[in-house]
Chains A and B, each alone.
Chain A
Amino acid sequence: MIIVPCVSPDGKPTKSGIATLSALKSGASTPKAVAEITGQPLFKVRSGLRELVNAGFVKQVDDKYQLTPEGSKIVA
């Protein structure tokens, strides 16, 4: 069983997932920057980003993260 902190079982981002997407929209691109903006612990941001990538809302390029078109729609 995989439990995801940022994506609900119905595939939609949770409250903390939306906070992470909003942080990415505002220009944050690293887990540390997202943690600083959202106030979430770094471990939770790393885990959440992993799940948002798997769900298709975020893409990872090297060590940076950015919104996908699907993720952008959520925080439009």
Chain B
Amino acid sequence: MEEKTDAIRLPLIGEKAPDFEAVTTQGTLRLSDFEGSWLVLFSHPADFTPVCTTEFIAFSEIYDELKKRNTELLGLSVDSVSSHIAWIRNVEEKMGVKIPFPIIADLNKEVSQKFGMIHPAQSKTETVRCVFIMDPESKIRTILYYPLTTGRNMKEILRIIDALQTTDKHKVATPANWKPGDPVVVPPPGTTEQAEERTKEGYDCKDWYLCFKKL
């Protein structure tokens, strides 16, 4: 007999993210409201907690850089909208930082469960530190998971967006530790004929399968 389960299948890289409608600090928003922009959807464990506060300040600090990249930010935790409002007012009052992006109040855990943001072995009630980077068609392009105790690296989030946008624009890949301005990797050839041609195409080739070029 087939066993019935209520397991939710998590969205994976390359798939369109599941749409949702959620209460946020900037009104009731749908994921589809963000179509046309890149989106960083991130969860944090709870309001009024130390690591999350440092992250929110850090996310606010890269907000203008994200806007330059046509990218919006959307936070989430299993807290009420009143708690979110109280916390961001506190951050502004005590730390002098205004939080410019909306935060989902996911009290019923509907969105966090859709995106696999609750890892019960870490916490049954709080979301871990997830980052979903989506493109303008709401397709998931990157998924990052951090444990409760480790704050995220904003430079890496910006670097990933730069790499994805560079890849889309120029049909190339980006090597380890790539940053804007560095040489990019030319996609490997798919046939022996292309492999032979590759070394004659003026790229900086270490061998037929590893060629770099400057943009």
Contacts and interface: CB of A to CB of B under 8 A. Distances in A.
Interface of A: 1-6, 41-44, 46-48, 51
B106 interface: no
B208 interface: no
B28 interface: yes
Interface stretch (B30-38, B151-159, B166-174, B195-203): B30-38
Contact of A41 (B28, B32, B72): B72
A47 B27 contact: yes
Interface of B: 23-24, 26-30, 32-34, 36-37, 72, 81
B176 to A, nearest CB: 34
A41 B73 CA distance: 11
Contacts of B27: 3-6, 44, 47-48, 51
B33 A3 contact: no
Contacts of A41: 37, 72
A46 B36 CA distance: 12
